[in-house]
Structure 1
Amino acid sequence: MMTWKSYTVVLTALVAAIALAGCRQNTARAPQPAPPAISSQADTVRLSQKEAADRRLDHRFPPYPVKAKQAHEEGAVTFTAIIGRDGHVRSLELAKADFPSLTEAAEKSVQNWVYKPYLVDGKPVEVETTITVRFTLGSGDN
């Protein structure tokens, strides 16, 4: 027959084992963010719009198109872009435009943006990304 002291020792050992098991579960490392996706074309990396925007070195926003301003048109123009190894925009494909009157100004501006080249294993690669230019009246009118 077990005494109260025996029960206390067994209970203490059991609590310690449960606490230790809980600590081991909580010490697992948090998952690391996935690296940028490398496309089937070995020299192209897909970056999110934010990741690419953080790499912009030179970007001037377009002047607000006069006709769009007079018509009180506000909205966004979104492109799928390829940024070359040298950091210059190599190609733009229109994905969406809230107003066609905003498209030309956005495209002319984005064509001149420059990005810090993205390196994979120390070598520059092309970047595929999304670029959105927003036109908002009353905020400096771009």
Structure 2
Amino acid sequence: MTRHTLGSHPFLLGFEELDRLVERTAKSGEGYPPYNIEQVGDGAYRITLAVAGFAEEDLAITLEDRQLLVRGRQAETSDDRVFLHRGIAARQFSRSFVLADGVEVTGAGLEHGLLNISLERKSPQRVVQTIEIGKA
């Protein structure tokens, strides 16, 4: 049986990368840290990650080839604290989001243990192009 995917449909030319993007995002299914994605306006979005215990210097946000990557790594503390119960996670994490064409990161802020990343979709200019018919 032949496996048909969205990117291999004959009417969708040039969308082969879509299958790779879906596969790549499906692999980042770990549940830590929890996050929200909300639409905050027309073409404006906000990703909020719960990063309690992380300081700004413990976090890194990078954008490469439409993949937004948020990493967290807390510095090891060498104090003599003895925990009777440790329920606040202090592990490193990596969370990725694939952004659509035209979506740009407009800012990020850390407040009350929540990392907010603001995104905005820029409207593409619509171009009508006439194609001349010539000899092949």
Question: Is the TM-score greater than 0.5?
Answer: no
Higher helix share: 1
Higher strand share: 2
- Structure whose alpha-carbon radius of gyration is higher: 1
Q: TM-score, structure 1 length as denominator?
A: 0.23
